[in-house]
Amino acid sequence: MCDSSDLACLPFPTSMQGAATACYVALHPQVKGISDKYFSDCNLAKTTSQS
C-alpha cells in the first residue's frame, strides 16, 4: 500500500505519454504556424493569469 510520501505511487505519465504533446506540436501539420500557445495532452489549452 502506498502513502502520500511515496513518489512511486504518484500517477506519472510514461515516457511516451510525456513526449506525445511535444512530438505533436513539432510534427503535426495541423499546428503548423501556431506559436505562442500552450498545449496539453496534444490539445490547445487555455492559460490562466497564473501561468
The alpha helices in the chain, defined as continuous H runs, are 15-27
Supply the pLDDT for residue 20: 93
Regions of the chain short of the pLDDT cut 50: none
What is the maximal distance between C-alpha atoms in the chain? 47
Q: How far is CA 17 from CA 13, 24, 44, in A?
A: 6, 11, 16
43 phi, psi to nearest 5 deg: -130, 150
Q: What is the pLDDT of residue 48?
A: 81
pLDDT at 4: 60
